[in-house]
Amino acid sequence: MTTWHPGELYPRVGFIVTNLARPSERVVPFYNQRGTCEEFIKEGKGAIKWTRLSCRAFVANAVRLHLHVCDLGSRSAGM
């Protein structure tokens, strides 16, 4: 993967090593999306002090996270 940015003398070259059975045109967007999701998770951990999500099921973790956010909202509103 090579990208040119305005004002830079050399291109930025990146390598992705994967075992995904996808065409390269789909691998790069997949990993870019994954990186974006991980950044959102990092921001959430810093902003609302998320703890580890201990459930194995995605839906269970989503409910726990939602309840945590609602609890923080009610505390800040003085309820």
pLDDT tens-digit series, residues 7-31: 888 888 878 888 988 888 888 888 8
Overall domain count for the chain: 2
Residues 8 and 25 in one domain: yes
Domain that holds residue 68: 51-79
Name 20's Cβ contacts closer than 8 Å, sequence gap at least 6: 27, 30
Residues 26 and 40 in one domain: yes
Largest CA distance in the chain: 57
Residues 68 and 41 in one domain: no
Q: Do 66 and 50 touch, CB atoms closer than 8 A?
A: no
Residues 8 and 19 in one domain: yes
pLDDT tens-digit series, residues 29-58: 888 888 888 888 787 777 766 666 677 788
